[in-house]
Structure 1
């Protein structure tokens, strides 16, 4: 078994949404979230997802209940599209947005842990979080294509725990 390594990164955004905001046709625009979209912490439940999220405890999403995304990916998309600044990471509607960790470098079944001070929470990577055509509507034309291969990863949580904004120790 390969040796585990720990590195320091940062949780820059946390998102839990009870409903889909990107349904229907992108030309019609997203529907509003019924509550706050940005959180300072999230509660993680093993095998279920993030408490309060639309994918929590849904059998069809058990292996994809939590999406993890790299802030650097969005910055790269913004630069490639010539945007003046990177848009809010919440527009991509990923649950956990990290800075300083190569999320898209994770392979299927890789296990990694995030510890923001309340103890490590392990996740198992399952599949890429592919972007959708909504990215062209909410970020900029061309964002959908630009995000291919850097949309993050869908995971299943292996532990109960809490994640908070700020410094995080990532163990891979």
Structure 2
């Protein structure tokens, strides 16, 4: 059964400047049990919420199967960590997640490429290891709530 493993809504950018300088401190409570999503705006309380430059990429999703053991959303800075969903192959589709509060449609627009910060946040070589499996960037099409736990998944394929 697919599940939502973790959710992150962080008001701060932790990876700014040079990776050699290290990340900014993590704010308390950025890992949450539920997130509120607003259509075309993103995750309420997140650093990219309502930013015009990020409208098509305001919700990020990554698969637990892509991450090394012990790594979570605090290191990779994605919003939704799922298990049992091959998200990296969903570009061009609409991913529909329902964790019990109704469906939330996410248009999967492009891959979320890892950056050099991964070598600092996870371990040397992580940047290279995550290439091609760094998750996806999505535009939310609905207002809704996602919660940690089991999730019903529907994929609407518009790729033809």
TM range (shorter): over 0.9
On the 8 A contact 2:105/2:141 being kept in 1, the answer is yes
Where do residues 1-172 of structure 1 align in structure 2 (5 Å cutoff)? 8-74=1-67, 78=68, 85-108=69-92, 110-172=93-155
Unpaired segments of 5 or more residues in structure 2?
A: 156-160
What's the TM-score once normalised by structure 1's chain length? 0.87
The match for 1:4 is none
Distance (whole Å) between structure 1 residues aligned to residue 56 and residue 73 of structure 2: 22
What's the TM-score once normalised by structure 2's chain length? 0.94
Distance (whole Å) between structure 2 residues aligned to residue 62 and residue 35 of structure 1: 26
CA displacement at 1:86 relative to structure 2: 3.2
Q: Give 4+ residue runs of structure 1 displaced > 3 Å after superposition.
A: none
Which one has the largest radius of gyration? 1
Distance (whole Å) between structure 2 residues aligned to residue 10 and residue 89 of structure 1: 15
Distance (whole Å) between structure 2 residues aligned to residue 88 and residue 51 of structure 1: 20
